[in-house]
Amino acid sequence: MTPPPVTGKPKSSLLDRVSSPADIRDFSIEELEQLTHEVRQEMIQSVSFTGGHLGAGLGVAELTVALHHIFDTPRDRLIWDVGHQAYPHKILTGRRNRMRTMRQGGGLSGFTRRSESEYDPFGAGHSSTSISAALGMAVARDLKGATNNVIAVIGDGAMSAGQAYEAMNNAGAAGSRLIVILNDNDMSIAPPVGALSAHLSRLLSSPSYHSLRHLVKDLAHLLPPPLERAMGRAEEYARGMVSGGGTLFEELGFYYVGPIDGHNFEHLLPVLKNVRDSDETRPVLLHVVTKKGRGYPPAEAAADKYHGVGRFDVLTGQLEKPKANAPSYTSVFSKALIAEAEVDDRVVAITAAMPAGTGLDKFGDRFPARTFDVGIAEQHAVTFAGGLATEGFKPFCAIYSSFLQRAYDQVQHDVVLQRLPVRFAIDRAGLVGADGATHAGSYDMAFLGCLPDIVIMCPSDEAELMHAVATAVAIDDRPSAFRYPRGEGVGIELPERGSVMPIGKGRVVREGNRVAILSLGTRLAEVLKASDELAARGMAPTVVDARFMKPLDEDLILRLAREHEVLITVEEGSVGGFASHVLHLLASKGALDRGLKVRPLALPDVFVEHDAPTVQYEKIGLNASGIVATVLATLGETRAAVNA
C-alpha cells in the first residue's frame, strides 16, 4: 500500500473532527487511511518547527491510528517504549494544538509523560522499560479483578536491552494477559511479509484457531505422557512453520503472532481485533513490520530516517544548520580519542547504541576493529569494558550521563571494586535543553563521587577536555571518568593532542581578594563573566578551575579558605556532588571554624523542565548574573547599593 504524498491538502479534514481516540472508533478503513495521512502531515509540520524525533513516529502512524481505533484507550493502557514513537499518539489524544510547543519551555514533553495526559499511563525517555511497566499494570488489573487490556509497543532496537527480556521472561511465567507489539522498523528480524503472512496471522490470532488449539491440547491430556509431549511439540512446530518465526518468544512464554505489515489496515485491524478479543491466557507478542520515516521522502532517503532532527524546510527536507561558533564537546572528545589511539593501539572504544551521539562513529571509521557498539545495553557495556581492562587494553566507555545511571551496579562492582582502569567518557553532563529531565546529566558526580579510588575530571572547556582524555589514557592503576556537556565549546584554540594533567590538581585562573569562586566544569565561562562584573564593582574575586572532582586539590582549597572571607563553589551537578566533598574537607580540617562563608551553587533539588539551556541555567541561578547575586548577597551587598 503506497501512502499518499505528504504535500497537498486533504479532500476534507478528518483530523479536525478528532478530539480524542473515541472519535475514530467507527471510522472506515478509507477514513483511517486519510486520517493517517493527515496525522503524518501534522507531525511533519510540527517537528519542522520544533525539531525532535520524526522518523520513528512516521513509521508507526498507521499502527497508532489502528491501536486507538481498536482499543478502548485510556481504559486500555497503551505504553510507548522510549517515546520517540509517540508523536502521532499525542496528536490523536487531545494535544494536537500544542504540538508546536513540544520541547519548548512550558510546552509538551518530547516523550510520554503521566502528568501531561491520561493517555500516557507511563512516562518514558529511556529505552526498554515498556514491557516491565505493562506487566506491572496487567498484574495490578488482575488483582483488582478488572478486564482492561494492557499494550506495550516496543521498537526492535529497544529489544537489544536486557530489561526487555527480563520482563518477557517474568511475563511468560506470571500468566497475566498482556499484549506486546514488537515494532520491527528496519526489517532487522522479520522475513518478507505480505498477503500470505497476513492471512496466517489472522488465522493464528482468530477465535476459531484458539478453540481448535485448546481442543487439541485437551485431547492430548488424555493420551499417555510420551504421546502428549509429542503432540505438543508437533503443534508448536507447525505454528513455527506457518508463522515464519517467533520461537524465541514462544520459549519465553509468549503466544507469537506475525509478522504483519504495519502500514496496511486490512492486515492490522483484524489481527488487533483478534488479539483484543482472544481468550488466550498467555501474554501475546504481535510482530509488526514498519518502515521508519514512512511517507516523507526526505526522511525515507536519509541514512538515519530523520530519527532526531532540528528544524527543517518541509518542502525540501533541508535541515536548518545553526551557525557554529565552536566545535561541539562531543566532536572534540572524538578528535582527542582518535589522537590518543593513533599512538596507543591498546585504546579501544565502547558505545551502547549511540555511536553518532557520543562521537564514536568517527573513531569507528578510523579504527573499526577497536570500536564496539553493544546495543542498548549499558550494564553489559560497563562489564565488557572491565573484561577488556583485565587484559591490558584501555577501554573508553562512552555513555550519556543519564544512561550511565542504568549501569551503576556494574560501575561499582565490576569496575571500581576491582580497581580496573576503565575510562568513562560521560557525555551530556549538566542540563541538556529540549530533552529535559529524562536526559539531564544531573547525578553522575554524586553517584560516582561516593565510590573509592576513582578519578573524576570535569574539563572547563574543549581544550581541557582534550587534556582529560590524555590523562585518562595515562591512568593505568584505577578507573577514571570525565564529564562534558552537550553543545558547543567556547571556541578556544585546540592542541593536536592533549597533555597529561597532574592528578587531583586545580589551576588558579585569576587572583583576587575577599571572595574565591571555585568552579568545576564548563560553568567557568559564566564564572569569568561574573568575575568581570564583580571586578568592575571593586571586588575582584579569585577564580579557580578545580579540574578534578576527585581527588580534590586539598592544599589549594584550604588555601582559598584561609585567604578569603567567602568561598563560592559552582558545578553542573546535583546536591551531593562536588560541593559536598569540598564542605566535608573544610569541616574535617576545621577550615569552617574561623567564620568562612561557603555558598554552594549546584543544580537544585528538583527536576529542571525542558527549555533552552541558557534559559534553564538562568532560572536556577547558574549563570553569571546568578553568581554575582550570590556573591553580593553573601557579602551583604546589593546591586543597587554597589551602584549608588
- Written as nine digits, the cell of 357 is 551521539
Instruction: Give the bridge partners for 394, in sequence order.
Output: 347
- The span from the CA of 351 to the CA of 381, in Å, is 7
Active-site position among 95, 113, 305, 406: 406
Instruction: Give the bridge partners for 257, in sequence order.
Output: 286
How far is the CA of 56 from the CAs of 9, 96, 188, in angstroms? 23, 18, 15
CA angle (338, 342, 346) in 5-degree steps: 95
Is 180 in contact with 158 (CB distance < 8 Å)?
no
Is 402 in contact with 440 (CB distance < 8 Å)?
yes
Omega before 283 cis (within 30°)? no
Query: 607 by DSSP, 3-state: which?
Result: coil
CA angle (367, 371, 373) in 5-degree steps: 150
Question: Is residue 412 exposed (0-12), middle (13-18) or buried (19+ Cβ within 10 Å)?
Answer: middle
- The span from the CA of 402 to the CA of 381, in Å, is 15
How far is the CA of 128 from the CAs of 21, 293, 356, 394, 541, in angstroms? 25, 21, 20, 29, 48
Active site residue 113: no
- Which letter, b or e, does each residue of 310-345 get, where b requires 16 or more Cβ atoms within 10 Å of its Cβ? eebebeebeeeeeeeebbbbbbbbbbbbbbbbeeee
DSSP string for residues in 551-594? S--HHHHHHHHHHEEEEEEE-SS-TTSHHHHHHHHHHHTTTTTT
Residue 565 dihedral angles phi and psi, to the nearest 5°: -80, -35
Active-site position among 77, 282, 292, 547: 292
- The span from the CA of 238 to the CA of 185, in Å, is 27
Active site residue 320: no
DSSP string for residues in 153-184? EEETTGGGSHHHHHHHHHHHHH----EEEEEE
- Written as nine digits, the cell of 483 is 564529564
Q: How many Å from the N-terminal Cα to the C-terminal Cα in the chain?
A: 74
Active-site position among 33, 42, 280, 378: 378
Is 517 in contact with 601 (CB distance < 8 Å)?
no
In terms of Cα–Cα distance, which of 487, 427, 424 is closest to 617? Answer: 487
Query: 540 by DSSP, 3-state: which?
Result: coil
**Length of the chain in terms of residues written:** 644
- The span from the CA of 308 to the CA of 359, in Å, is 15
- The span from the CA of 136 to the CA of 120, in Å, is 15
Active site residue 563: no
- The span from the CA of 348 to the CA of 368, in Å, is 10
In terms of Cα–Cα distance, which of 311, 319, 264 is closest to 291? Answer: 264
The catalytic residue positions are 292, 378, 406
